Amino acid sequence: MNYSEVYETYNKLKEVLILKKQAIIKKNLDELNRTDEMTIELSEQIKKFDLKNTQNDFTKEQKEELKALGQEIKAIQENNEILIKHSLDVINNILSGILNIAQQENSSYNSKGESCANGESLDISSITEEA
């Protein structure tokens, strides 16, 4: 493991996360899946580096560059998480609206599927059911 290999891998991860952000904004699910796969591959490579426990010969300057790059990656990932959460909130609100409309439509019919007038009660007594 050398510095250029580590830096290049982290830089690729940053680029992939930027592509992921663009895919989220554009609602491009194919691109989102592709970036997720690339993120997994790069994460597996990064796990192999073991930066904390190895005797690396990185200079103080190189360590600072990696730290700065790591902070950029963290900020981009946090931004992506916020975008995803917002997207899920929007989807939940849309689904809630659809379900509310469906529920209102459902309450317009009695148990026999007949349309009820606005003032009509939907409760059916046992006498009505027997008739």
Q: What are the tens digits of pLDDT across the range 12-68?
A: 999 999 999 999 999 899 999 999 999 999 999 988 887 776 566 788 898 899 999
The model's pTM is 0.69
Task: Please name the residues in contact with 128: beta carbons below 8 A apart, sequence gap of 6 or more.
Answer: none
DSSP 27: T
DSSP 2: -
Show me where the domains of the chain are located.
3-102
User: Which pLDDT value is given to residue 68?
Assistant: 96
CA distance 34 to 32: 5
For the chain, what percent of residues have pLDDT higher than 70? 73
User: Which pLDDT value is given to residue 9?
Assistant: 95
- CA distances in angstroms from 90 to 29, 32, 98, listed in the order given: 16, 18, 12
- CA distances in angstroms from 52 to 56, 63, 86, listed in the order given: 9, 11, 35
Q: Is the pLDDT of residue 124 over 70?
A: no
